[in-house]
């Protein structure tokens, strides 16, 4: 059942063990809470009727039970504080107290019996006044004082048991005025209900049931408002136990001190914001069919998030956990194009808004010594920045840019405004590993704040094309021609994996693929519109004879236009090196 409560200025959070917290921008009504409790207990909507509770305007600020308990326990707590009752017939009905009488019963129809009737059809009996306390003390959670425990006392009654105080504890959040009204009503209702009676009717009144209010006429013409509390059906006779009822008792003003100043405002749980990143791998351990996800909260207090995906947007599977907040946002300016080699771009700068995140400057040496230092994704380009100049909280201008990292030189141009900006650091970043059969298929993804319901997150569609497995473009394509204009192509390959460039055991550039293969597409012109021939090579060298050039409609000795790809057995061609030689 309910195990915790949070409350803010306009937000109510009801936490239920085994059930996701319920968050509402307005406080829930009694009718909605009762319905939710019944549905979570396994009842169906057709088995309950709480529509009558709509007349109760006082909302449920919070409800907390400290241990697992039956749903009935929570319902009885609500019934005692909000003054409604429950009865079972064709379904379970919840009815608010104070309703208009459903029937008027004349005196002559009372006292039905088999054989000789009773001497008094309407015998009013008063219970022992010693059982009635002179005062009730109600202990509750004071929402006006950061949910500290508070006690409100009812007005005193003059009774035979003078000085007696009955204590009542309620795990409900109320304002002092609401608690005072409740405790006053409880005592007055007990005093009113001390007078009861039994009435016997014929089966014509079979429609009556406990919780109903009726008007009964006495022998002298006096009328009594009674609330039926028990029914005994011995057709054709019906016996009802009833107590006196007074609807005016339910509207006590609750006059008490409200001099409380809250010192704490409990914010609503963070909503997870996420970025799904199909980008080159950032470390060798991530060489798989998968992608990265960056996640953070919309507020600073972020406990982490679970990432789920689904093929049908119905059944979701948890894929990974993001334990801390990432730093990401959007660009507020457009990053300029860069056509130079991989050297520092001191011409362009870009301003990014990372919200609650922070960025810091570094040195050129640190950037050159590690590809992970100040690495940031702008659009589809991975770059590194030396200087992060704070413009305003969360807003930074990045300069001293080392462009086109991890094979993303193809994305150094064509940037646009409002592109994503994601700091590629370990904190806040996780890997979602998929199988090859899932590549290229659209899936629904949800980032769910830890402790929240799966339904609290909005699904995003995403397709993983395994960019992390896509080979980088080769470089340094050359064409050597002999006297007959036969061409020998040579080039250098690159790798997606970590490279060792120094040390006692020498340089090592791992292949990173199951097998070495390259494709060279030959074009007729620099328009690169139609492929004349594809040359496949297993090493960083390939031949293109003069005869083949002639057969392709080219003049041997003229410039050749080529696109060179390294090939992956999993995802096919990598990024192209486009060059004339």
pLDDT band at 403 (very low <50, low <70, confident <90, very high): very high
Contact (CB, 8 A) for 195 and 104: no
The predicted-structure confidence for 415-454, as pLDDT tens digits, reads as follows 998 999 999 999 999 999 999 999 999 999 999 999 999 9
Residue 125 shares a structural domain with residue 236: yes
**Residue 256 falls within a domain, yes or no?**
no
**H/E element, 86:** strand 84-88
**Overall residue count recorded for the chain in this entry:** 581
Residue 234 shares a structural domain with residue 92: no
Q: Mean of the pLDDT values across residues 447-475? A: 94
Residue 303 shares a structural domain with residue 437: yes
Say whether pLDDT at 48 is over 80: yes
pLDDT band at 265 (very low <50, low <70, confident <90, very high): low
Higher pLDDT, 130 or 234: 234
Q: Mean of the pLDDT values across residues 449-469? A: 94
Q: What is the spatial distance between Cα 43 and Cα 31, in angstroms, rounded to a whole number?
A: 15
Backbone torsions φ then ψ of 421, nearest 5 degrees: -135, 115
Contact (CB, 8 A) for 62 and 7: yes
pLDDT band at 16 (very low <50, low <70, confident <90, very high): very low
- Looking at residue 431, its pLDDT comes to 96
Q: Nearest Cα to 546, choosing from 534, 536, 560?
A: 560
Q: What is the spatial distance between Cα 525 and Cα 562, in angstroms, rounded to a whole number?
A: 9
Higher pLDDT, 252 or 278: 278
Beta-bridge partners for 523: 531, 561
- Looking at residue 467, its pLDDT comes to 94
> Which residues have CB under 8 Å from 482's CB, separation 6+?
488
**Residue 365 falls within a domain, yes or no?**
yes
Q: Which two tokens stand for residue 549?
A: 């050039």
> Which residues have CB under 8 Å from 388's CB, separation 6+?
359, 360, 361, 374, 396, 397, 398
Q: Nearest Cα to 105, choosing from 1, 244, 210, 202?
A: 202
- Looking at residue 330, its pLDDT comes to 97
Say whether pLDDT at 6 is over 50: no
Say whether pLDDT at 96 is over 80: yes
Residue 543 is classified by DSSP as E
Q: In what order do the strands lie in the sheet with 62-63?
A: 62-63, 165-174, 135-142, 148-153
Q: What is the three-class DSSP state of 52?
A: helix
Say whether pLDDT at 388 is over 80: yes
- Looking at residue 53, its pLDDT comes to 94
Q: What is the spatial distance between Cα 252 and Cα 144, in angstroms, rounded to a whole number?
A: 20
Measuring CA to CA, how many Å separate 60 from each of 87, 135, 171? Answer: 22, 25, 11
Say whether pLDDT at 1 is over 60: no
Measuring CA to CA, how many Å separate 275 from each of 377, 383, 446? Answer: 11, 17, 11
Q: What is the spatial distance between Cα 86 and Cα 93, in angstroms, rounded to a whole number?
A: 6
Say whether pLDDT at 32 is over 70: yes
**Residue 469 falls within a domain, yes or no?**
no
The predicted-structure confidence for 269-310, as pLDDT tens digits, reads as follows 899 999 999 999 999 999 999 999 999 999 999 999 999 999
Number of domains in the chain: 5
Backbone torsions φ then ψ of 22, nearest 5 degrees: -100, 125
Average pLDDT score, the chain:
89
Angle CA 382–388–392, to nearest 5: 120
Say whether pLDDT at 59 is over 70: yes
Residue 47 shares a structural domain with residue 140: no
**Residue 139 falls within a domain, yes or no?**
yes
Residue 515 shares a structural domain with residue 495: yes
> Which residues have CB under 8 Å from 558's CB, separation 6+?
none
Residue located via tokens 């394509």: 477
Q: Nearest Cα to 431, choosing from 241, 289, 313, 326?
A: 289
Which residues of 332-378 form beta strands (DSSP E)?
Answer: 344-345, 350-353, 375-378
**Residue 102 falls within a domain, yes or no?**
no
Residue 130 shares a structural domain with residue 236: yes
- Looking at residue 459, its pLDDT comes to 96
User: Which is it for strands 165-174 and 135-142: parallel, antiparallel or unpaired?
Assistant: parallel
Q: What is the spatial distance between Cα 106 and Cα 215, in angstroms, rounded to a whole number?
A: 9
The predicted-structure confidence for 195-223, as pLDDT tens digits, reads as follows 999 999 987 788 899 999 999 999 888 99
- Looking at residue 15, its pLDDT comes to 43
- Looking at residue 256, its pLDDT comes to 72
The alpha carbon of residue 430 and the mean position of all alpha carbons in its chain are separated, in whole angstroms, by 18
Q: Which two tokens stand for residue 189?
A: 């209702």
Residue 196 shares a structural domain with residue 341: no
- Looking at residue 234, its pLDDT comes to 83
The predicted-structure confidence for 470-506, as pLDDT tens digits, reads as follows 999 999 999 999 999 999 999 999 999 988 777 788 7
Contact (CB, 8 A) for 274 and 306: no
Say whether pLDDT at 12 is over 60: no
Contact (CB, 8 A) for 296 and 273: yes
Measuring CA to CA, how many Å separate 352 from each of 36, 349, 385, 552? Answer: 44, 10, 12, 50
Contact (CB, 8 A) for 332 and 302: no
**Residue 361 falls within a domain, yes or no?**
yes
Residue 184 shares a structural domain with residue 244: yes
Domain span at 376: 328-423
Q: Nearest Cα to 28, choosing from 82, 80, 87, 94?
A: 82
Q: What is the spatial distance between Cα 138 and Cα 150, in angstroms, rounded to a whole number?
A: 8
Measuring CA to CA, how many Å separate 178 from each of 74, 109, 386, 415, 559? Answer: 19, 42, 60, 59, 89
Percent of the chain having pLDDT more than 70? Answer: 92
Residue 451 shares a structural domain with residue 525: no
| Domain end point (choices 96, 127, 162) | 96
The predicted-structure confidence for 550-560, as pLDDT tens digits, reads as follows 999 999 999 99
Q: What is the spatial distance between Cα 572 and Cα 552, in angstroms, rounded to a whole number?
A: 25
Q: Mean of the pLDDT values across residues 106-128? A: 80
**Residue 103 falls within a domain, yes or no?**
no
pTM for the model stands at 0.63
**Residue 470 falls within a domain, yes or no?**
no
CA dihedral (5, 7, 11, 15) in degrees, to 10, reads -10
Q: Which two tokens stand for residue 470?
A: 């896509």
Residue 195 shares a structural domain with residue 287: no
Residue 374 shares a structural domain with residue 406: yes
The CATH number covering residue 486 comes to 2.60.40.10
- Looking at residue 64, its pLDDT comes to 79
- Rg of the chain over Cα atoms, rounded to whole angstroms, equals 39
Q: What is the spatial distance between Cα 404 and Cα 380, in angstroms, rounded to a whole number?
A: 10
Backbone torsions φ then ψ of 507, nearest 5 degrees: -75, 140
Contact (CB, 8 A) for 241 and 230: yes
> Which residues have CB under 8 Å from 182's CB, separation 6+?
81, 138, 152, 174, 254
pLDDT band at 11 (very low <50, low <70, confident <90, very high): very low
- Looking at residue 263, its pLDDT comes to 63
Residue located via tokens 């199909």: 278
Residue 315 shares a structural domain with residue 442: yes
Say whether pLDDT at 579 is over 90: yes
């Amino acid at each position: 059942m309910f195990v915790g409560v949070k409350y803010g200025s306009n937000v109510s959070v009801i936490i239920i063990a085994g059930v996701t917290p319920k968050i509402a921008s307005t406080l829930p009504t009694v009718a909605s809470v009762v319905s939710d409790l019944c549905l979570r207990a396994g009842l169906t909507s057709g088995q309950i009727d709480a529509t009558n509770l709509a007349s109760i305007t006082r909302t449920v600020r919070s409800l907390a039970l400290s241990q697992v308990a039956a749903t009935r326990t929570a319902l009885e707590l609500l019934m005692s504080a909000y003054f409604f009752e429950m009865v079972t017939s064709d379904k379970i009905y919840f009815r608010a107290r104070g309703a208009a009488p459903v029937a008027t019963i004349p005196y002559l129809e009372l006292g039905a019996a088999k054989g000789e009737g009773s001497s008094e059809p309407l015998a009013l009996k008063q219970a022992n006044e010693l059982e009635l306390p002179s005062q009730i003390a109600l202990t509750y959670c004071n929402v006006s004082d950061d949910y500290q425990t508070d006690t409100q006392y009812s007005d005193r009654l003059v009774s035979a048991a003078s000085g007696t105080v009955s204590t009542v504890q309620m795990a409900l959040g109320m304002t002092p005025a609401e608690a005072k009204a409740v405790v006053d009503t409880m005592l007055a209702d007990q005093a009113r209900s001390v007078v009861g009676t039994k009435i016997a009717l014929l089966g014509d009144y079979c429609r009556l049931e406990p919780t109903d209010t009726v008007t009964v006429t006495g022998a002298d013409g006096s009328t009594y408002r009674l609330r039926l509390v028990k029914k005994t059906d011995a057709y054709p006779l019906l016996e009802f136990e009833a107590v006196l009822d007074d609807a005016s008792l339910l509207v006590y003003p609750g006059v008490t001190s409200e001099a409380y100043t809250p010192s704490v405002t409990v914010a609503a749980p963070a909503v997870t914001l996420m970025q799904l990143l199909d980008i080159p791998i950032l470390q060798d351990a991530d060489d798989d069919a998968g992608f990265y996800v960056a996640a953070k909260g919309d507020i600073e207090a972020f406990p982490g998030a679970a990432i789920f995906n689904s093929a049908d947007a119905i059944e979701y599977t948890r894929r990974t956990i993001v334990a801390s907040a990432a730093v990401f946002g959007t660009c507020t300016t457009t990053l300029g194009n860069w056509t130079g080699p991989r050297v520092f771009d001191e011409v362009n700068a870009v301003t990014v808004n990372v919200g609650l995140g922070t960025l810091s400057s570094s040195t050129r040496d640190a950037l050159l010594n590690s590809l992970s230092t100040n690495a940031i994704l702008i659009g589809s380009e991975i770059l590194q920045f030396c200087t992060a100049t704070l413009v305003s909280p969360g807003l930074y201008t990045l300069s001293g840019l080392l462009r086109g990292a991890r094979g993303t030189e193809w994305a150094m141009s064509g940037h646009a405004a409002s592109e994503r900006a994601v700091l590629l650091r370990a904190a806040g970043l996780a890997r979602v590993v998929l199988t090859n059969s899932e590549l290229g298929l659209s899936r629904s993804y949800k980032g769910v704040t830890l402790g929240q319901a799966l339904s609290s997150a909005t699904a995003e569609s995403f397709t993983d094309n395994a960019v992390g497995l896509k080979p980088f473009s080769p470089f340094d394509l050359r064409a050597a021609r002999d006297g007959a204009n036969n061409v020998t192509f040579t080039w250098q390959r690159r790798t997606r994996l970590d490279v060792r460039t120094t040390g006692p055991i020498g340089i090592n550039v791992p292949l990173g693929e199951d097998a070495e293969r390259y494709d060279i597409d030959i074009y007729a012109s620099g328009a690169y519109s139609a492929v004349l021939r594809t040359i496949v090579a297993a090493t960083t060298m390939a031949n293109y004879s003069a005869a083949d050039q002639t057969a392709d409609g080219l003049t041997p000795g003229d410039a050749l236009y080529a696109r060179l790809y390294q090939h992956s057995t999993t995802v096919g061609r990598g990024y192209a090196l486009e060059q004339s030689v």
